Amino acid sequence: MERLKTAAYCRLSRDDEQSESIANQRLLIESYINSHSEFELTDVYEDDGVTGMTYDRAAFLRMMRDIDAGRINAIIVKDLSRIGREQIETLNLIKREFILKNIRFIAITDDYDSFDRASDSLSTSVKLLLNDYYCADISKKVRSAQKAKRERGDFIGSHAPYGYIKDPENKNRLIIDKTAARVVKKIFSLYISGYGKQAIARILNAEGIPNPTVYKQNILGQNYKNSNRLFKTSGWTYTTIHKMLQSRVYIGDTVQHRSEIKAYNIHKKTALPQAKWCIVENTHKPIIDKADFENVQRLLKTKASTPDMTRNISKYTGLFFCKDCGRAMNKYLSRKKKDGTRYIAFKCATYSHYGKSACTIHSIREDELDSIILDRINKILKDAIDKNISEYIRKNTKNNIATDNREDIRRLKSSLEACETRRKTMLAYLSEGIITAEDFAFFDSENKSRADIIKQSIISAENPLLSKQSRTSEHTAEIEDILVNKSIQTVTRELLVGLVDKICISENENLKEIEIFFKFKAAPFFT
């Protein structure tokens, strides 16, 4: 009698007991084959650490290919649950793939043999049903445990977000990956400086910086697969930059449970609304300063239009809009004059795309806009300096609630510590080449001036004779920034992002009106 070419199939999931080990399964199957002369072991197929609720298993798929190729005509497993734990799918598999293809299938401990009609009984269906119930129960327990971990801020993902790695001493805790963190800082810095997401992607690709998927696979050596990545995409993309700029993980927060499966046996995930996300703050060290992150979120909401990603970069990007149509104002370079001069100006994006039938040009030169901005900011500075500063703050800040003097001192000391933290951050940026020595010198001068004012405020607050005068409402950081500078000579991207919420330009019969909305409490300025 010709012996059956037999496959030994073994599977072990992470939830199975040690007694179900691959080695034990294999030993049982080999013993069975040795005691039954009609079988000849052809190959052993092992899926270790894979759930029985999916049939997308490497060894299982290889075995199925060998069946189709005619290399196997018998399969032996320890029990029915090894081949699969989902009742309906497992029954269909046995009938459709094994019995109809004349493949003999044996589950040893369940006393099942597909060539024995007595095996095709109610007991087989009951056993598969119990396997199904077991999976549902395990899935419920796993989800409950994961929920508890998420709510206490434990990271439970398979792979850490780009910029972080899992702590070797605690896999549920994230620590900074210095190499990737430098890239994250660069992305945020470029965006704040006015570069669009596509432009940033091009810069990173031009510099040969591996994207997150390539970095995790080739640099960190992780078995990482990005299911959202396009098949042939190996570089940075607009979408990758967009997601990173929105990710709160970079300010030290853990955000999880953004999607879920409908049921234990339906593996397709469904996105959840943000209200159902599990967010725990301050679970790990941040890469990005919270103030910078908030500025980026505000800029993202403006949806600034930047058609030419390489040349349409401006310090006003994301801040300057046409009031009449709501679209962004685009930068352009004027035509050469007879004397050879040219200048930078802005015009309405709607006008650029659709012409004067949709909106008017709203054109304004950049140097004219700079002059208007400087004039308004310096007027506010002069008003603040000429008046009693505490009285000015009391009248102009959003929160007009008196606070205890001790709370003022605590807050001022906290602000002073923040100055030192920012200086250390900028020193790190300097050492990593993210900013230039000139940029650092400018920042350091401004930061020192701010620290000096805070120190003087602390001295005044601690003096009992001045305590009543020092009781003012908690003023905003933006007001402090203005008071530090005293006089502004140049409009910079940093200045605009820190102080201005948005700028609008309207046009009526060739008369233009500029409206400036500041981030601190002040009436909109018209000119």
User: Residues 284-313: pLDDT tens digits?
Assistant: 999 999 888 988 888 887 654 443 334 446
Highest mean pLDDT among 153-162, 172-181, 226-235: 172-181
Q: If pLDDT is split at 50, 70 and 90, which confidence band does 76 have?
A: very high
Q: If pLDDT is split at 50, 70 and 90, which confidence band does 42 have?
A: very high
Q: If pLDDT is split at 50, 70 and 90, which confidence band does 487 have?
A: low
Beta bridge partners of 75: 7, 105
Give the pLDDT of residue 523.
47
Average pLDDT over the chain reads: 76
Q: Is the model more confident about 310 or about 447? A: 447
SS3 378: helix
Whether 93 shows a pLDDT value over 70: the answer reads yes
Contact between residue 130 and residue 110 where contact means Cβ atoms under 8 Å apart:
no
Give the pLDDT of residue 176.
92
Q: If pLDDT is split at 50, 70 and 90, which confidence band does 389 have?
A: low
Highest mean pLDDT among 114-128, 199-213, 290-304: 199-213
Q: Is the model more confident about 219 or about 44? A: 44
The whole-angstrom separation of Cα 170 and Cα 153 is 13
Q: Pairing state of beta strands 254-256 and 74-77?
A: unpaired
Give the pLDDT of residue 304.
46
Q: Averaged over 476-494, what is the pLDDT? A: 63
Give the pTM: 0.45
Q: If pLDDT is split at 50, 70 and 90, which confidence band does 458 have?
A: confident
Q: Averaged over 60-81, what is the pLDDT? A: 91
Q: Averaged over 259-286, what is the pLDDT? A: 73
Q: Is the model more confident about 311 or about 214? A: 214
Q: Is the model more confident about 191 or about 260? A: 191
Give the pLDDT of residue 34.
92
Q: If pLDDT is split at 50, 70 and 90, which confidence band does 136 have?
A: low
Q: pLDDT above 90 covers what percent of the chain?
A: 17
Q: Is the model more confident about 314 or about 211? A: 211
Give the pLDDT of residue 181.
92
**Alpha-carbon distance values, 470 to 122, 409, 463, 486 (Å):** 84, 10, 9, 21
Q: Averaged over 385-403, what is the pLDDT? A: 50
Quick one: which H or E segment has residue 64?
Answer: helix 58-68
**Alpha-carbon distance values, 242 to 205, 239, 297 (Å):** 16, 5, 11
Q: If pLDDT is split at 50, 70 and 90, which confidence band does 357 have?
A: confident
Q: Averaged over 514-523, what is the pLDDT? A: 74
Least confident of 18-27, 28-37, 324-333: 18-27
Whether 339 shows a pLDDT value over 80: the answer reads no
The whole-angstrom separation of Cα 157 and Cα 226 is 13
* Start-to-end Cα distance in the chain: 101
Give the pLDDT of residue 369.
92
Q: How many CB atoms lie within 10 A of CB 424?
A: 10
The whole-angstrom separation of Cα 509 and Cα 507 is 7
Contact between residue 114 and residue 94 where contact means Cβ atoms under 8 Å apart:
yes
Highest mean pLDDT among 218-227, 312-321, 361-370, 418-427: 361-370
Domains of the chain plus CATH, in order, are 4-136 (3.40.50.1390), 164-301 (3.90.1750.20)
511 phi and psi, to 5 degrees? Answer: -100, 125
Q: Is the model more confident about 46 or about 479? A: 46
Give the pLDDT of residue 445.
76
Q: pLDDT above 70 covers what percent of the chain?
A: 72
Q: If pLDDT is split at 50, 70 and 90, which confidence band does 132 have?
A: low
Give 494-517 pLDDT, tens digit per residue.
778 878 888 999 988 767 889 988
Q: Is the model more confident about 444 or about 470? A: 444
Q: Averaged over 483-490, what is the pLDDT? A: 65
Q: If pLDDT is split at 50, 70 and 90, which confidence band does 65 have?
A: very high
